[in-house]
Amino acid sequence: MKEEIEALFNKPAGAYSEEDFDLFCAFKKALNSGRVRAAEPDPEAPNGWRVNGWVKKGILLGFRMGKIIDMSIDASRQPWFDKATYPVRRITAEMGVRIVPGGSSIRDGVFLGRGVTCMPPMYINVGAYVGDGTMIDSHALVGSCAQVGRHCHISAAAQIGGVLEPVGAMPVIIEDEVLLGGNSGVYEGAIVRRRAVLGTGVILNRSTPVYDLVKDRIIAGSAEDPLVIPAEAVVVAGARAVKKGIGADHGISLYTPVIVKYRDAKTEAKLQLEELLR
């Protein structure tokens, strides 16, 4: 499929044949089943993850191939217009996924593991992968191509940014058993390692350094490398003082994420109630 998708991607946009649409449909089914992913674990990669650029090309193809159609259930009350190639994801009770009533939306081309819980209203975009037992809470976003592991909790209003272009760029990676606190945000291809905890309001991106008070170090991303939050780190929102110029004169501080500890028994006790909600 990889070679066929790349050949179709390089084909000039225009009239697509029935065989082209059949290929794209087969590609979406592979996304839905988790057989292909925009990024996947790779022990030989520097950060333990490999980007599959051809999968991103396939997703972009869908936008190129699709025409805008009326998807409204009731056009007078709630009009929906989107690409014909990306309808709402079909969910059945046999999949073991909970979608609580109240206005959530999951685009076609998303993998959902068994036991995933979706609290309304939340949104999962095309190309995302959500592992078994993960909870996506109210007003949360899982962006295009984001990879979310097993038994995570994406709290209310948390944002996981999408990275669809450029095709070689790492999407946001949330590994297993991670807790993203309310109103937190992970962007620009950051990697949050397994069992890490992001407190309320923590924002992670490539340009904001993270101060590890436990291990006496500063963690930062670069143009070539993503920001990587260590496994089991507990990150809270902090501030650092501006030490010169007008900022210092006026006592200005800048936001910065701070690792205040690594998970311990006290942390586990606070998170134990999670299982009662699943």
53-65 helix and 2-10 helix, angle to the nearest 10 degrees: 50
Please state which CATH number belongs to domain 2-67. 1.10.166.10
- CATH 1.10.10.60 fits domain 86-271: no
Burial class (CB in 10 A: 0-12, 13-18, 19+), 108: middle
Q: What is the pLDDT of residues 112-140, one digit of tens each?
A: 999 999 999 999 999 999 999 999 999 99
Measure the CA dihedral 176/179/185/188, to 10°: -20
What is the rounded CA–CA span in Å between residue 106 and residue 145? 13
Integer CA distances (angstroms), 60 to 145, 167, 171, 278, in order: 11, 9, 14, 34
Residues near 197 by beta carbon (within 8 Å), at least 6 away in sequence: 178, 179, 181, 233, 234, 235, 263, 267, 271
What is the rounded CA–CA span in Å between residue 220 and residue 210? 6
CATH 1.10.166.10, the chain: domain bounds: 2-67
Q: What is the pLDDT of residues 15-62, one digit of tens each?
A: 899 999 999 999 999 999 999 999 999 999 999 999 999 999 999 999
Integer CA distances (angstroms), 27 to 37, 66, 108, 187, 204, in order: 10, 14, 11, 26, 32
Q: Left if phi > 0, otherwise alpha if psi is -120 to 50, otherwise beta: which for 53?
A: alpha
At residue 264, does pLDDT exceed 90?
A: no
CB contact at 8 A, 56 and 45? no
b/e map 4-29, b = 16+ CB within 10 Å: bbeebbeeeeeebeeeeeebbeebbe
CB contact at 8 A, 109 and 92? no
pLDDT of residue 73: 87
* DSSP character at residue 84: T
Confidence of residue 269 (pLDDT cuts 50, 70, 90): low
pTM: 0.93
Span 253-267, average pLDDT: 90
Strands of the sheet containing 111-112, edge to edge, are 111-112, 129-130, 147-148, 173-174, 191-192, 228-229
CATH 2.160.10.10, the chain: domain bounds: 86-271
What is the rounded CA–CA span in Å between residue 106 and residue 92? 13
